[in-house]
Amino acid sequence: MDKLIITAAPVGAEASRQDNPNLPLTPREIAEEAVRCAEKGAAIIHLHVRDAEGKATQSKAVFQETMQLIRKQCNVIIQTSTGGAAWMSAAERLQPVELRPEMATLTTGTVNFGDEIFSNPLPMIAEFAKAMVKYGVKPEIEVFEVGMIHNALALVKKGILQLPLHFDFVMGVPGGIAGEPKHLIHLVESLPPGCTWTVAGIGRCELPLAVIAAAMGGHVRVGFEDNVYYTKGVLADSNAQLVERIARIAHELGRPIATPDEARKILGLGL
């Protein structure tokens, strides 16, 4: 079994200070939180950014500023979002890929997202995938429904992407696949050999799915993008607290934590 790659998703596009007053919003706050997550064992930061009003933005300039602040302080893999928020245009969402982050997300299908629609038509997915290839960015395939695995594999068949791919199973979004262990097993069994996978459980699914993934040989994502609670009714103090907990549990399970450089090897990123 590979070492466990922990991804921290400290901001997201949807969470607000009403949900958790400790949500980082400015480039400096996000960078400082990313560094604390890395210190607790996160190898990857799944990065969203916010504008001066705290609203989700895909501004290249804000991403650049935040990425520079993170890189100045630690050696962590930065994975920029191309999902942005459900209301954003494709062009807006794609902007941070031009900054050549080591990784970026690629959602390979359209899904209901709460009361919104997270729109990812097939031609748009192919355009995003080609941009990632052009800028040397490793995609993380974001899977909200099982058909999205097949859509990603269709891009391999067309010669746009290459195996092995790395997947993130986002489970428990209202409108997407439910956060139940039986669905996780089905998703994992639907992957071709050699692919790697992470699970991002939403809300109360976060911890149980992370523990199951750690025991199964998968990887895990935690953070305020997916869940702002430490336990039922108790808000987390920080993203780093959520990272620290899953690192501790993994240790108890006998699954060592991957450093960023070890994660780069596991994911086939250029060192």
Angle at 136 between CA 131 and CA 141, to 5 degrees: 65
Q: Which of 66, 82, 110, 196 binds ligand KMH (CB under 6 A)?
A: 82
Q: Which residue is nearest to Zn ion (CB)?
A: 81
Stretch that binds Zn ion, among 55-63, 80-88, 127-135, 214-222 (CB under 5 A): 80-88
Q: What does the alpha-carbon distance between residue 240 and residue 8 come to, in Å, rounded to a whole number?
A: 8
Query: Which own/partner pairs from 125-131 qualify as long-range (CB within 8 Å, at least 24 positions apart)?
Result: 125/151, 125/155, 126/155, 126/158, 126/160, 127/90, 127/94, 128/82, 128/90, 128/93, 128/94, 128/97, 129/155, 129/160, 129/161, 130/160, 131/94, 131/97
Q: Which of 23, 49, 69, 113 binds ligand KMH (CB under 6 A)?
A: 113
Binding of ligand KMH by 13 (CB under 6 A): yes
> Around Cβ 185, how many Cβ atoms within 10 Å?
12
Torsion angle in degrees (nearest 10) through CA of 13, 195, 121, 124: 80
Sign of CA dihedral 45, 51, 55, 57: negative
Binding of Zn ion by 80 (CB under 5 A): no
Residue 70's Cα: distance from chain center in Å?
17
- Residues between 12 and 71 with contacts to Zn ion, criterion CB under 5 A: none
CB of 248 to ligand KMH, least distance (A): 26
Binding of ligand KMH by 85 (CB under 6 A): yes
Binding of Zn ion by 81 (CB under 5 A): yes
110 binds, options Zn ion, ligand KMH, none, Cβ within 5 to 8 A by partner type = none
Binding of Zn ion by 120 (CB under 5 A): no
Stretch that binds ligand KMH, among 81-89, 159-167, 212-220, 247-255 (CB under 6 A): 81-89
Binding of ligand KMH by 118 (CB under 6 A): yes
Half-sphere exposure of 188 (CA within 13 A, CB side): 17
Binding of Zn ion by 239 (CB under 5 A): no
Whose Cβ is closer to ligand KMH: residue 178's or residue 253's? 178
Q: Which of 57, 107, 120, 151 binds ligand KMH (CB under 6 A)?
A: 107
The number of residues that bind ligand KMH (CB under 6 A) is: 13
Q: Which parts of this chain interact with ligand KMH (CB under 6 A)?
A: 12-14, 81-83, 85-86, 105, 107, 113, 118, 142
Q: Which parts of this chain interact with Zn ion (CB under 5 A)?
A: 81, 83
